[in-house]
Chains A and B, each alone.
Chain A
Amino acid sequence: MVNLQTSWEVRTLSQRASEALAGGQLGLTTGYLFAGLAGLAVFLAAMALVLVYAERKIAAHFQCRLGPMRVGWHGILQSVADSLKLLLKEDIVPTDADRFLHVLAPFMSLLAAILVLVMLPMSPALQVADVNIGVLYVTAVSGLGALGILLGGWSSNNKWSLLGAMRAGAQIISYEVSATLSLLVVVLFSGTLQLSKIVQSQADGWWIWRAPGVGLLAFAIYLIASVAEINRTPFDISEGESELTAGFHTEYSGMRFAFFFLAEFINMFVVSALAATLFLGGWMPFHIGGLATFNAAMDLIPPGAWFAAKSAFLIFVIMWFRWTFPRLRIDQLMRLEWKILLPIGFVNLFLAAMAVLFGFYFFPVQ
C-alpha cells in the first residue's frame, strides 16, 4: 500500500524556484519563473476560449438552440475566431475620457484575477505560489477588481458607464462581506489560512459535509455572494443591457474590452475553483470511509482531474443560474445582502465557532 498522506506533499513552483536559487542553479530558477509566467499566460488564454465556448453552448442548449455550429466541429473554433476579431479591432478612447485611467482600469481588473489565480492549488504538483495567508490574500486582492471596474466606469465620461460602475461598486462592496464571512467558517474548521493546507485538512472528508450544517450553509452563501461579486446574472445590474447599454465597459473596444471580458471569465473560474478548494476538498479525491476498494479506485484519478472536475461543475452551476433566475433590482439586491445573507452569515459563523470549540464535527482533528 502506498501511503497517500506523504504523496500529497505540496511543492509549489515558487518553492522549486527558490530551492534552485539557493542551490546556485540560476538557469533552473529562470526556467521555473519562465515556466510559471508562460504557463499562466497560456492557461489564461485557453481558459477564456473554453469558457466562452461553454457559455455560448450551454446558453444555447438551455434555450433549445444549437449555438455556434459553423466554425470547426460543432463550432469549437468559434471563440478562436472571435478573439482574433477582437485583436484586430480599433481601440477607441473617448475624447473627454481620462486617458490614463481609461487605459489603466482593464489592466487592474485582469491583474486582480491573475493574482488570485497564482495562489490556486490545482494539484499537489501544480501551484505557482503558496502563502500562509492564502484566504486573506484572496479576499484582499479581489478588492482590486472592484477598483478596476469603478475607474473604468468613471474614466469613460459616459453616464451609462458611471451608473454601471456605481452599481457594480455598491454590489461588490456589499457582497464581499458575506463571501468573507462564509470563507471564515472554513478557516475556523481547518485552523489555517493557507490554501494548500486547507485542501490537506480535507483528506478525511470535505468541509461542506464534515462541518454539520454550517458547512453547507457557508457554501451556499459563498456561492450566492461570489456570483454577485463577479457581476453575473442574476446580479448583473452593473451591465444590465436593457437599461445601461453595457454598463461600465460601454466605452471600451478592442483589446481593452477583451481584458474586461477576460477578467470576467477568469473571475468565474477563480470563484468556482475557490469554492471547490475550500468546501469540496480541492484536489482531494472523493472517499467514503470503510470502502477501501472504492477509495483506492478513486485515488487512481489524478488530483488535477479532481480539481478540474469540481471547478467545471461549479462553473456549470453558475452558468445554470444565468438561465434560471431573472435579474434582481438594485433595492432587492441590497435587501438580499444586508437583511438576509449577512444575518445568516453571522449566525452561521457563530454556530461554526461553537462546533469547532466543542469538536462537534465529523473526524475532529486533535
Chain B
Amino acid sequence: MIWSKATGTLLFYLFAVVSVALAIATVSSRRILRAAVYLMGVLAVTAGFYLLLGAPFLAGVQILVYVGGIVVLIVYVVMLTRSSDLAEDKPSAARKSTALLAALASFVLAVTVFKSSESAFRGAGSQAATMLIDDTAMIGRALLDRGPRGYVLPFELVSLLLLAVVIGGITLARKIQVDQSAAPKESSDGGVANA
C-alpha cells in the first residue's frame, strides 16, 4: 500500500510538471501545428490525472473526445488552411498582456473555487470518488436517472444542443453546395434544411 501511494504522488508531480510545460509550449510555440501537438499532450496528461483520481471512464472519454476528436479536427483544419512554412505572427504587447490577464483571472477563479469547496473535496467528495472507482454502470444510471440525484435533464439538454449543432453544420455545408450547382433549387433545398 505504501508503494502504491508513493507511486501515485510521484505520478501526480510527474504529470503536473509535464502538463504545465506542455501548456506553456502550446501558447508560446509559433508553429500552429506544433502547438496543436503540445495541446494534445496537455489533454492526454489530463486523462492521466483522471486515472489518478480513480475515474478511468472519464479518462477514456477524455482521450476519445479530446485527443481522438478535437485535436484531430484542429490538425485537419490547420492542414486545410495553412502551409507548413507559415508561422504565427509575433503577438503584440497589448495582446500578450491581455492574454496574461485572462490567464491570471482564471487562475484566481480556480483557486477561489477550490478554497471555498475545500471541505467538500476532503469529506464527502473523496468518499464519492472512491465509491465511483471501476463503476461505469453507475455513471450510466446516474445520467439517465429521473430522480432527485439523477442527471437526465442536463443529459437531454446536451443531446438537444448537439442535435442543433449537427443541423447547423449540415445547413452550412448544404448552402455552399447549392450555390455552386444550381441557383433555382436554393429555396427548396434551404427550406428542407431549415425544417
Contacts and interface: CB of A to CB of B under 8 A. Distances in A.
Interface stretch (A82-90, A154-162, A296-304): A154-162
29 contacts: A21-B3, A22-B1, A22-B3, A97-B84, A98-B33, A98-B34, A100-B34, A133-B57, A133-B60, A136-B64, A139-B68, A140-B61, A140-B68, A142-B68, A143-B68, A146-B68, A147-B71, A147-B75, A150-B75, A151-B75, A154-B84, A157-B84, A169-B72, A169-B75, A169-B76, A170-B76, A173-B72, A173-B73, A173-B76
A147 B3 contact: no
Contacts of B20: none
A151 to B, nearest CB: 7
A193 B56 CA distance: 12
Contact of B84 (A132, A136, A150, A155): A155
Interface in B25-78: 31, 33-34, 37, 40, 56-57, 59-61, 63-64, 67-69, 71-73, 75-76, 78
B189 interface: no
Contacts of B37: 101, 104, 151
A165 B75 CA distance: 11
Secondary structure at the B interface, as helix, strand, loop or mixed, is helix
A104 to B, nearest CB: 7
Contacts of A98: 31, 33-34, 84
Nearest to A138: B60
Interface in B1-39: 1, 3-4, 31, 33-34, 37
Contacts of A227: none
B136 A193 contact: yes
Nearest to B73: A173
A101 B29 CA distance: 13
Task: Name which of B31, B59, B64 has the most chain A CB atoms within 10 A of its CB.
Answer: B64
Interface string B108-135: 0000000000000000000000000010
B79 to A, nearest CB: 5
B68 A144 contact: yes
Contact of A137 (B4, B60, B73): B60
A273 to B, nearest CB: 20
B84 A143 contact: no
Contacts, number: 91
Nearest to A21: B3
Interface residues of B, number: 31
Task: Name which of B1, B67, B78 has the most chain A CB atoms within 10 A of its CB.
Answer: B67
Contacts of A139: 64, 68
Contacts of A351: none
A131 interface: yes
Contact of B56 (A97, A101, A132, A141): A132
A140 B65 CA distance: 8
A263 interface: no
Interface in A108-154: 131-133, 136-137, 139-144, 146-147, 150-151, 153-154
B85 interface: yes
Nearest to A143: B68
Nearest to B68: A143
Nearest to B71: A147
Interface in A18-53: 21-22
Contact of A140 (B4, B34, B64, B76): B64
